[in-house]
Chain A
Amino acid sequence: MLKVIERRYISYVVLIALLGSLLLMGGCQQTAVETSTPDEAVQARTIVDQAGREVTLPLEVNRVISTWRPCTFLVYAVGGQEKLVGVDIGSTKAPFTTAVYPEIADLAQVGDKKSGINVEEVVAANPDVVFVWSGKDSENLINQLEQQKIPAVVLIPESADQMREATLLIGEIMGCSPQAEKILKYYDDTLALVAEKLKEVPESERKKVFLAGADGFLSSCGTDFYQHYLIEQSGGINVAAELTGGWQEVSAEQVVSWNPDVIILDPYCKDKPEDAVKMNPGLKAITAVQAGSVHNFPSVGQWTFPIPQSAMGVLWLSEKLYPDLYEDLDVAAEADKYYKDFFGVTYSDIVNSASANADK
């Protein structure tokens, strides 16, 4: 009997001994970390990221990892795409990113906000800096990267001001400040141009806009999302402004009572407007449906992201709301010129290559 009991414990003893020895190694190692000092601080500079953290970076940054989509688009905005060595999942296939810089398809996909970041993949790409978001779950990632002596820069491009700050910061870090300033100037000039045109429209005649959101036709967002800012800058009134907490479901009755003049479908809205009206015939009472003012927001280029390229989104939306104001301006041609100037490819070429890929 005694022998049997002893045997039962063999597995335990093995397991505990193993774990114990590893733990001891852990103790030794941690003291070793504290005594080691970084000696490559000669060629370094310190910047303050958007979370207020001081980060030491090499003077020249040549290998960059972006961990989520809007940030990848910001890196493109400042013209730093060729320095990317790792990106979020999906950016390797997005029409804009691949058309401008096809080599992105071969980069490591390190993860994204939804499924997390694979730290080993990040280390394997040997980056000079990693851009991370400021969600509360990123602290763990930042600590892990610090242990690997990889600097992490927190970016919070959510509001327009934060987006400007983030663009300039990325430009500074990557040595792309001139293009960062240039593309922000275009952004500001475009918004100013639209605001100038909108002076002709009195407050009482401003169009009411319903943005059908990412959670389906009957979802929308309030003031806390960038889309709200886009609608306002375009001269529209967001009927769902009272919503809080990002995308929220709304009832068909609510949309009817808001009675928007124009309905815009977010690029991430999966529903078709015809289907939504078929399912809820009550929606036919809405002015926008009767007048046929239902538009799909262009899906290529992510113009609803908080990125400088969203200037094109404001231009597009404002033209849809007040076509009379834009008789002298061809928005499609302007988009082509903008993309040709900043990214070397016209917007229609990107759209065409996207639909060609979709047909394949």
Chain B
Amino acid sequence: MPINSSANRRNAIRMVLAGLAVLGIFCLSMFIGRYHIEAGRLVQLLTTAPDAWLDHPDTSVFYYIRLPRIIMAGIVGAGLSAAGALFQGMFRNPLVSPDILGVSSGCCLGAALGIIISGQVGMAYLVPLLAFIVGIIAMFLAYGIAKISPGDQVVMLILAGIVVGGFFEAALSFIKYTADPYEDLPAIVFWIMGGFFRANWSVVLNLLIGVLPCLLLLHLLAWKINILSLGDEEAGSLGINVKVFRFLLLCLATFMVAGCVSVSGTIGWVGLVVPHIARLLSGADHRYVMPMSMLVGAGFVMLMDNLARGLTSAEIPISILTAAVGTPFFAYLLIKGRGQAWK
């Protein structure tokens, strides 16, 4: 990997541009929604003291509903995309997405359990909590199975992930089959569909505490992902304890993905497509792919959520939008032979 200062310079400029674009999308998002708030009024309110705010619906809608939702979409987008970039790099496989180790299936199962267990009102916190825990359990199960299986660890991990994911999906289907059709079943189906309508400040706070440090760590460790992506033997010969390091990175990514999915439900295609876009913009070096994925992911999901909540009077499920935009773009990348970064 030649270290070339002009390439570094180019990447740095692109990174700043991407950052500015995300900032722009963020500002744009503030003005999008079914409740019409005039731009001038919003600016005026943002510049006055907060305690003069809440009495008017303009501001309470903006502050309690729209703003946390935009931030949540941004963080979840960044988290899923960074995890996708990590998994694709680590497994040296362009088709891998963050749910490859069964984390999403685990989260869905956990959420369904939470919905069944929780009572009528007041126990809603159980749902994201169980989703998070079962999502993490899924990853450890997959890792454990791979660990005790002979053979190439990377291949075994992917296979074990498929096994665990399949099993958890079966368990989920069983729960749906036996669930109460009035109370539980619609809630489970609705939860799995995913979206950012549950956004509030406490969700955002949890996400910031849980996901932001993971994003930073991933960014700082990105150069080691470069080494891991050379393959186990070469990475080992460069003095890295491959197994320990892979396990640490997996834990980090799983923590992040489970954190995102447990509050937003499953959101398809982001973790798969965004890293490819990032690689297109910044080459194969993970020191750039990683932050670029986060920026592109945050911007992409914020944009899609603008459509989800602003396009029609009802909500459009976000996964429909991410897939409708993500898949044609992915096809374009394939046709254009942009997989070169994979050699």
Contacts and interface: CB of A to CB of B under 8 A. Distances in A.
A51 B312 CA distance: 30
Contacts of B197: 116-119, 140
Contacts of B23: 14, 18
Contacts of A121: 34-35, 313-314
Contacts of A43: none
B51 interface: yes
A19 B315 contact: no
Categorize the interface residue count of chain B.
Answer: 35 or more
A108 B313 contact: yes
Contact of A26 (B35, B57, B118, B205): B205
A121 to B, nearest CB: 4
Contacts of B71: 19, 22
Contacts of A225: 181
A149 B61 CA distance: 11
A136 B53 contact: no
B154 interface: no
B201 A30 contact: yes
Interface residues of A, number: 61
B34 A147 contact: no
Contacts, number: 182
Contacts of B106: none
Contacts of A158: 182
A99 B180 CA distance: 34
A111 B187 contact: no
Contacts of A119: 61, 65, 197
A109 B19 contact: no
Contact of A120 (B118, B120, B201, B309): B309
Contact of B63 (A29, A108, A113, A247): A29
A29 B287 contact: no
Contacts of B232: none
Contacts of A11: 15-16, 18-19, 22, 291, 295
A18 B30 CA distance: 14
A15 B65 contact: no
A303 B177 CA distance: 26
18 contacts: A4-B5, A7-B16, A11-B16, A11-B19, A11-B291, A18-B23, A19-B212, A22-B67, A23-B208, A32-B50, A109-B314, A110-B314, A112-B314, A120-B33, A120-B309, A142-B121, A144-B65, A245-B181
Interface of B: 5, 8-9, 12, 15-16, 18-19, 22-23, 26, 33-36, 50-51, 53-55, 57, 60-61, 63-68, 71, 75, 115, 118, 120-122, 124, 127, 177-187, 189-191, 193, 195, 197-198, 200-201, 204-205, 208, 212, 216, 219, 287-288, 291, 295, 298, 309, 312-317
